[in-house]
A and B are shown apart, each in its own frame.
Chain A
Amino acid sequence: MSYFDLFKALIPEAIITGIALCLLAVDLAALRPQSMSVRLRWCGGMAILGCASAIGWMLLQPAQLQAGMLAIGPLTQWIKLSLLILTAFIAVISFSARFTVHVGEYFALLLFATVGLMLLVSADNFLLIFLALELLSISLYALTAFHKNRLASAEAALKYYLFGSVAAAFTLFGISLLYGVTGEIQLSGINAHLSAGHQEPIFYIALVMTLAGFAFKLAAAPFHFWAPDVYEGAPTPIAAYIASASKVGSFFVVARILWTAFPGARGGASAPGWMPVLVVLAVISMTLGNLAALMQRKVSRLLAYSAVAHGAYAVLALLAAPQQGLPSLLFYVITYALTALGAFAVVGVIEASGGRAELKDFAGFSRRAPLLAFCLLVFMLSLAGIPPLAGFFGKFYVFTAAAEATPRLSLLWLVILAVATSAVSLYYYLQILKQVYAAAPLEHLVWSPPARSSQWAIVLLAGTIIVLGCFPSLLLTRIAAVLSAHPF
């Protein structure tokens, strides 16, 4: 394998990086005198163009690389594709951003975060995983603080940064222990070492440390404390990004680590291994996330807690066997990402009208914007898991996979808990919808219709969720195709 092959395999990442640098230059050199909306359009347009060209390249030149630090195959390509689409959506809903004057930097950071994510999903090596993770995180810390006029934004960024660095330290510590135990930082190498039968107690410490670091990224309780503040404080498109693209990438990499590096250390309900750790994380997250969400008055915080709960459901898929677990996980996180993205986009519309995205700011929304209100209805019901929306099938698939995971239904109790907490969640989603549909509109909010582009984006997302709910096979067959070619 030559360096040229390696470069060819990394061309999508290179395109995005290049575009990000161009963006900075163009904004600095040419766009400064222009009005905000022009700058937003140009920069956003360039970012979308970058994503589109990377997507185009991947579709035209499918890469296959299974050596060294990178493992690129149809599956990772496909995940990157989804990440790029999500990023493009974020760029679209950022068009009406009013929170910053540093447009070029904003989009460049967004693209850098995306590059981090793309490397994260392609990495087959703990060191690269850590580097990619840091690239992603640092970009996101900065983006979170981008709302310069809001104290909450700075506070959120600081919290995010502090928690994030501690978590990164944990991860690094875990990785170094792993290296110490196995002498490997290659995922497949660790597996080979483990299968040879060497499992010292310290290995489990390493495992727990590593997982703890990722649990932070997934906002799984009890590592979720940053999430509500960040979702509330960060600019809405960034919160959407954290909830969608970042979630997809992180879950994918966790799945990859667990199933390629530690399949032998799976463990059982009582045996040591990563399964009990995940069970504990899932139980705490789904209970705490859903119960805490019941008490929220701000929709962004509510969505944060709901994200914690949804993370727990995705963890259920990790507990299943890879044959069922991986497709259900992918379907679940991707549909969740689309839904969360849509929900945040609508929250952004409300905030742009001067609301603070409190529950009562949604009052009478259906009278003002029937179409957007309907889209919000779709997003909320999909999050609650109501058929025929994608969120329902996602949950259903995950629960079925988890129930099938162990013989004699020994994980069924967890599924029961998941279904029960999911039933509880309907309450708070309906609280939002009640305001939207049943309450009378508030007078003091001046309704400003959102940009047409973000409106289209929202409608497109809602449509996708309905279509994927009615015909999940559309996505499932794609997933099956990429999985059958070469898992991981």
Chain B
Amino acid sequence: MMLAGTIYLSFFGAAALMLLPARQARCARPLALLTALGGLACALAALVGRWSQIEPGALRDITNAPWIGELGIRFHLAADGISLTLVLLTGIAAVTGILFSWNIETRPREFFALYMALIGGVYGVFLSFDLFLLFVFYEIAIIPKYFLIAIWGSTRREYGAMKLALYSFAGSAMVLVGLIAAYVVAGAKTFDLVELAKYPFPAEFQSWAFLLVFVGFAILAGLWPFHTWAPTGHVAAPTGASMLLAGVVMKLGAYGALRVAMTLFPLGLHRWQHLIAALAVVGIVYGAAVALTQRDFKFVIGYSSVSHMGFVLLGLMTLTQIGLTGATLQMFSHGIIAGLLFAVVGRMIYDRAHTRDLNELGAFRLGKAMPFAAIVFVLAASASMGLPGFSGFIAEMQTLIGAWRVFPGLTVLAAVGILIGVAFLWRAQTKAFFPEGGSPAPGTHLAAITLPEKIGALTLLSTTILIGLYPRLLLDLIASAFQSPLMQPIWKGTLS
């Protein structure tokens, strides 16, 4: 029950922010922070509650009431370990995103109202078990993104925003067709995921329906070659929105692909498994390689997101317990780490130096001018590289183990992707923070790092280290979810 509070609270916050009188615009930030904290508290409370009485594979209903009876649509909220993990991620990303948006001065009420609406939609997707409801929340998350970028963004913001909106909408159109087709074919007058998953769809139908729905969702997860919205969108977005984009919105796609496409159409899944795994690996290597050549710091991080989301998709395609667990943990881990990287680049550096060009940043001697930012970035980059001790390591490790069992050749390529990942992060880090030679540009004074930034950075850092050192906190939760009856179709006809 606590969990549904995350959704209601966020939308309530959005509405309250919208209705806030103009002269009280100062209250917008604290109000947004408060609602986001409330959401996080709900998620944590649910986690703690569940932690004490864990039962493997349980799917817990939160609400299940009729909504649109004519079409058998129900307001069905529920949660399992996967949902819970991602809800927790959303909570953390929401709170830290607000902390890193503390310097928004133009139209703060609208900014935070849209922000909270986006968060509410994301929570909704992670908790919906009625496909119609899930789709509704999924779409709700698209529109605020457009405005957040188009109004408060930077470089080519209108282009980036429109591209992102259209890609998302195209993806959701594919999903919509798949959902309608599944509804009609099953003929059971229900959109309930648990019910539909029991229906044996004909193999031929599954084959194309899976592809349609999976790719539709995976567009948002940055599946190569449909990833191009991601870098431009990330670059154009204001910091808080970039953090949400990389942190949770890309997870929406991966989550939908797992929750809907893979659960409903397992036969289709088996048919396309290898193709999608190959695309995922191409994404891993391509994203990393392109990141290596970028001059704009944010593009580096943007492409790195494409690369890391490739691991999520690769893990999903392994269809092994360890690979799927790894993929889910990678969603969490990447959400935290990418958020942190965007926070450093977008908020700490760009808002002060007003440039993100790696060649120009050298002149600021950021390593000396902003030691805090430098240390946070180095740690975040280490986490992103997959160094042990950080959450990314555990996640990518599991993914690779799972992948090795199924596609050994692709796994080696993915490992090469990791190496390129080290290289591009290294390059960006050296150019921006520790340039060789030269003297500091005269007269550049960069404002000190503020308290909200410090709190946000430390929260994210400690989360990734905590999960890296004690992954059981989430692993047991995730692993048990894959044993649930709902997930059983995935395993059919696979090893282990």
Q: B-contacting residues of A (Cβ < 8 Å)? A: 327, 366, 374, 381, 386-388, 392-393, 396-397, 399-400, 403-404, 409, 412, 415-416, 419-420, 422-423, 426-427, 430, 433-434, 437-438, 471-473, 476-477, 480
**A438 in contact with B70 given A392-B139, A423-B166, A426-B166 (CB within 8 Å):** no
A-B contact pairs, 29 of them (CB 8 A): A327-B70, A374-B18, A381-B143, A387-B140, A388-B136, A399-B176, A399-B180, A409-B185, A412-B181, A419-B176, A423-B166, A423-B172, A427-B166, A430-B146, A430-B162, A434-B162, A437-B110, A437-B147, A437-B151, A438-B147, A438-B150, A438-B158, A471-B67, A473-B67, A473-B68, A473-B69, A473-B70, A477-B69, A477-B70
Q: How far is the CB of B380 from chain A (nearest CB, A)?
A: 31
> Does B94 sit at the interface, judged by CB under 8 A?
no
User: Which of A419, A433, A477 is the one whose CB lies under 8 Å from B173?
Assistant: A419
Which residues of chain B have C-beta atoms less than 8 A from A327's C-beta?
70
CB closest residue in chain B, given A385: B139
B221 CB contacts on chain A under 8 angstroms: none
Question: In this complex, what residue of B is CB-closest to A479?
Answer: B70
Within 8 Å by CB of B181, from A387, A403, A480, lies A403
A474 to chain B minimum Cβ distance, whole angstroms, is 10
Q: Is the CB of B177 within 8 A of A415?
A: yes
Chain B residues positioned under 8 Å from A472 (CB to CB): 68, 70
A399 to B177, CA, bound (A): 9
Q: How far is the CA of A386 from the CA of B136 in the complex (A)?
A: 8
For A387, the closest partner residue in chain B by CB is B136
Interface mask (B138-166 → A, CB under 8 Å = 1, otherwise 0)? 01101100110011000000100010011
Contact B170 A423 (CB under 8 A): yes
Closest to A427 in B: B166
Given known pairs A381-B143, A427-B162, the reply for A393 and B184 (CB within 8 Å) is no
Contact present for A387 and B135 (CB under 8 Å): yes
State whether B180 touches A415 (Cβ < 8 A): yes
Give complex CA distance A399, B139 in Å.
Answer: 17
Residues of A within 8 A of B110 (CB): 366, 437
In whole angstroms, how far apart are the Cα atoms of A416 and B169 in the complex? Answer: 14
A389 CB → nearest B CB, Å: 10
Docked pose: A422 CA to B18 CA in angstroms: 28
> In the complex the two chains form, is A396's CB within 8 Å of B184's CB?
no
Name the B residues within 8 Å of A427 (CB-CB).
162, 166
B140 near A388: Cβ-Cβ < 8 Å: yes
- Asked whether A386 lies within 8 Å of B70 as measured between CB atoms, the reply is no
Question: Provided the pairs A423-B166, A437-B151, A473-B70 are in contact, do residues A400 and B139 lie with their beta carbons within 8 angstroms?
Answer: no
Could you mark each residue 103-132 of chain B with 1 if its beta carbon is under 8 Å from any beta carbon of chain A, else 0? 000000010000000000000000000001
Q: Would B184 and A403 count as touching, CB distance under 8 A?
A: yes
Q: Is B183 an interface residue (CB 8 A)?
A: yes
Q: Does B71 lie at the interface of the complex (its beta carbon under 8 Å from any beta carbon of A)?
A: yes
* Contact residue among A392, A426, A437 (Cβ-Cβ distance under 8 Å from B165): A426
Q: Closest approach, in angstroms, between the C-beta of B319 and any C-beta of chain A?
A: 28
Contact B70 A476 (CB under 8 A): yes
Residue of B nearest to A469 (CB): B136
Across chains A and B, which 3 residue pairs bring their CB atoms closest together, nearest first?
A: A387-B136, A423-B173, A419-B173
Per-residue CB contact flags for chain B residues 258-275 toward chain A (1 = under 8 Å, else 0) read 000000000000000000
Chain A residues positioned under 8 Å from B173 (CB to CB)? 419-420, 422-423
The residue on A at minimum CB distance from B151 is: A438
Q: Which of B110, B135, B142, B147 has most A Cβ within 10 Å?
A: B147
The residues of A that contact B177 with a CB separation of less than 8 Å are 412, 415-416, 419
Q: Is B139 in contact with A434, judged by CB distance below 8 angstroms?
A: no
Contact residues in B for A419 (Cβ distance below 8 Å): 173-174, 176-177
User: A433 — which chain B residues lie within 8 A by C-beta?
Assistant: 147
Among B18, B69, B71, B151, the residue within 8 A (CB) of A400 is B71
Interface centre among B150, B151, B174, B184 (most CB of A within 10 A): B184
Interface string of B40-67 (1 = CB under 8 A from A): 0000000000000000000000000001
Residue on A with the closest CB to B153? Answer: A438
Q: How far is the CA of A412 from the CA of B68 in the complex (A)?
A: 23
Q: In the complex, what distance in Å separates the CA atom of A168 from the CA atom of B151?
A: 49
B397 to chain A, nearest CB (A): 38
Partner of B169, one of A404, A426, A477: A426
A386 touching B143 by the CB < 8 A rule?
Answer: yes
- How distant is the Cα of A396 from the Cα of B133 in the complex, in angstroms? 12
Bound-complex Cα distance A178 to B158 (A): 55
Which residues on the A side are within 8 Å of B136 (C-beta)? Answer: 387-388, 392
- Nearest Cβ in chain B — how far from A376, in angstroms? 13
Q: A426-B165, A472-B68 are known contacts. Are A400 and B135 too (CB-CB below 8 A)?
A: no
In the bound assembly, the distance between CA atoms of A374 and B143 in angstroms comes to: 13
B220 vs chain A, min Cβ distance (A): 14
Residues on B with C-beta less than 8 A from A387 are 135-136, 139-140
A393 touches B70 (CB 8 A): no
Known: A386-B139, A472-B68, A473-B67. A400 touches B184 (CB 8 A): yes
Given contacts A437-B150, A476-B68, 14 further A-B contacts (CB under 8 A): A387-B135, A387-B139, A392-B139, A393-B68, A400-B183, A403-B184, A409-B181, A412-B181, A420-B173, A426-B166, A438-B147, A472-B70, A473-B70, A480-B70
Given contacts A399-B176, A404-B184, A409-B185, contact A423 B169 (CB under 8 A): yes
> Which of B142, B147, B176, B181 is the one whose CB lies under 8 Å from A396?
B176
Cross-chain contact A409 with B184 (CB below 8 angstroms): yes
Cα–Cα, bound, A212→B139 (Å): 37
Near A by CB (< 8 A), chain B positions 167-192 give 169-170, 172-174, 176-177, 180-181, 183-185
Bound-state CA distance A335–B41 (Å) is 39
Q: Distance (Å) between the CB of B159 and the closest chain A CB?
A: 11
- How far in angstroms is the closest Cβ of chain B from A236? 26
Q: A397 near B71 (CB under 8 angstroms)?
A: yes
- Of the listed residues B68, B132, B142, B169, the one surrounded by the most CB atoms of chain A closer than 10 A to its CB is B169
Task: List the A side residues contacting B185 at CB < 8 Å.
Answer: 409
Residues of chain A with a CB closer than 8 A to B70's CB: 327, 472-473, 476-477, 480
CA distance A327 to B151 in the complex (A): 39
B232: shortest Cβ distance to chain A, in Å? 16
On chain B, the residues within 8 Å of A397 by CB distance are 71
Nearest-CB distance from B417 to chain A (Å)? Answer: 32
Residues of B within 8 A of A477 (CB): 69-70
Name the distance in Å between B41's Cβ and chain A's nearest Cβ.
Answer: 26
B87: min CB distance to chain A, Å: 20
Q: Could you tell me the distance in whole angstroms from the C-beta of A340 to the nearest C-beta in chain B? A: 20
Rounded to whole angstroms, the CA-CA distance of A245 and B385 in the bound complex is 61
Q: How many angstroms from the CA of A392 to the CA of B179 in the assembled complex?
A: 14
Q: What chain A residues lie within 8 Å of B180 (beta carbons)?
A: 396, 399-400, 403, 415
Residues on B with beta carbons closer than 8 Å to the beta carbon of A400: 71, 180, 183-184
Residues from chain B with a CB closer than 8 A to the CB of A473 are 67-70
Chain B nearest CB, measured from A275 CB (Å):
18
- With CB as the reference atom, state the residue of chain B lying closest to A476: B70
- In the assembled complex, the CB of A390 is this many whole angstroms from the nearest CB of chain B, namely 12
